[in-house]
Amino acid sequence: MVSLELKRVVVTGLGAITPLGNTVTEYWQGLLQGRSGIGAITLFDASSHACRIAGEVKNFDPSDYLKPKDAKRMARFASFAVCASAQAIADARFTINDLNAAQVGVIIGNGIGSLNVIEEQHKILLTQGPNRCSAFTIPMMIANMAAGQTAIHTGAKGPSSCTVTACAAGSNAIGEAFRLIQHGYAQAMICGGTEAAITPLSVAGFATARALSTRNEEPTGASRPFDQERDGFVMGEGAGILLLEELEHALNRGVTHIYAEIVGYGLTCDAYHMTTPTPGGEGAARAMELALKDAGLFPNSVSYINAHGTGTPINDVIETLAIKKALGDNAFAIPISSTKSMTGHLLGGSGGIEAVATVMTLATDQIPPTINLEQPDPNCDLDYVPTESRTQQVNIALSNSFGFGGHNVTLCFKKLEE
């Protein structure tokens, strides 16, 4: 039954498959250490590509969570999501059974689906003929299958969906899951983002659009958000998943650890250009303003921002302008970091792992750094926590995600008050 009274929503479980490690602990420690997960591409022969570096997931074995037969019938992006979701459920000590399955939902976003499957099967089509294409081609490649496979493997029978809003998809998924619990459509939601798009076509396409860094000889220094020498983003892959629960439901089942409360969700559209944000950052600023309004908070209450911070020349300047527009003079007092400096840009998965980082910042009062920020761009003049992590009390945090097509999303989290 839908509730007329808005429910409070909390984060009780986290899961992560990332270029820095395949658990939340490994990922978080990597961030605090300022370690880069970026290196030479090994997933395919990139020797002829202008960009030959990426943030690949390493030593990933889906059989830790999946039967070998199931893993073979699942695209990489979907297996990332299923495995990270299993981590989040285990972390929350949450059980899905016949009694609660209809009240547990799944929303997992991604930007592309499986280009890898498309490229492989297209090659088979051209060289061996249509009858040699896999019967699993379509269900493996379609973007919604991360959510679908996660529901199948967890038994979650509640609201199920997939957000496909480019690089805002993971954050959109979390925001929509928040809304569903808040309004009483579900008691718990498995949500976040996933992506596995380090493929020949994807890297070539982004590179010819001049979006990628070509600092191939120095991969660990290639992703450098807000730095004067930045030359584009570095592609990453992986998944970040949150288990959200209605607060009363979590307390009633005896939860002893709650990471944070999610209190605000703002989303807007630039309606301006396919790939470039509005020059003044108005759309991104409104997303932040709406998230704070949704949370009933003022700009001076924000104590941390996990920036979108891609490392592209235009976007970093516009995000800086947007933060100033949304938060006014308070912007200069807020620590901000781009964890993409260490993971690369996971496209539709970025909002997922960055929400995990934001929640961990709230839970530990440890702020991850923006590495490679050695010569700050004069137009990016906020406190971007350069080089080293920082210990500082964080009570209210924003996480920004902006995507091609003008999609802007901001999530607002806070420490849970007794």
Beta-carbon-side half-sphere exposure of residue 91 (alpha carbons within 13 Å): 24
Helix (H, G, I), strand (E, B) or coil at 102: helix
Mind listing the pLDDT tens digit of every residue in the chain (418 residues)? 555 789 999 999 999 999 999 999 999 999 999 999 999 999 999 999 999 999 999 999 998 899 999 999 999 999 999 999 999 999 999 999 999 999 999 999 999 999 999 999 999 999 999 999 999 999 999 999 999 999 999 999 999 999 999 999 999 999 999 999 999 999 999 999 999 999 999 999 999 999 999 999 999 999 999 999 999 999 999 999 999 999 999 999 999 899 999 999 999 999 999 989 999 999 999 999 999 999 999 999 999 999 999 999 999 999 999 999 999 999 999 999 999 999 999 999 999 999 999 999 999 999 999 999 999 999 999 999 999 999 999 999 999 999 999 999 999 999 998 6
Helix, strand, coil percent content, the chain, rounded in steps of 5:
40, 20, 40
- Cβ(163)–Cβ(176) under 8 Å? yes
Q: What are phi and psi of 198, to 5 degrees?
A: -85, 85
Q: How many CB atoms lie within 10 A of CB 390?
A: 18
Residue 297 structure tokens: 């908070």
Residue 30 structure tokens: 């990597």
Helix (H, G, I), strand (E, B) or coil at 147: helix
Query: Alpha-carbon distance 286 to 410, whole Å?
Result: 9
Paired strand residues for 190: 106, 243
Paired strand residues for 35: none
Q: Which residues are catalytic?
A: 167, 308, 345
DSSP 184-234: TS-SEEEEEEEE---SHHHHHHHHHTT-B---TT-GGGT--TTBTT---B-
Note the pTM of the prediction, 2 decimals: 0.97
Residue 384 structure tokens: 């971007």
Residue 85 structure tokens: 């979701």
Domains of the chain: 9-252 (3.40.47.10), 264-414 (3.40.47.10)
- Cβ(288)–Cβ(323) under 8 Å? yes
Helix (H, G, I), strand (E, B) or coil at 261: strand
- Cβ(394)–Cβ(287) under 8 Å? no
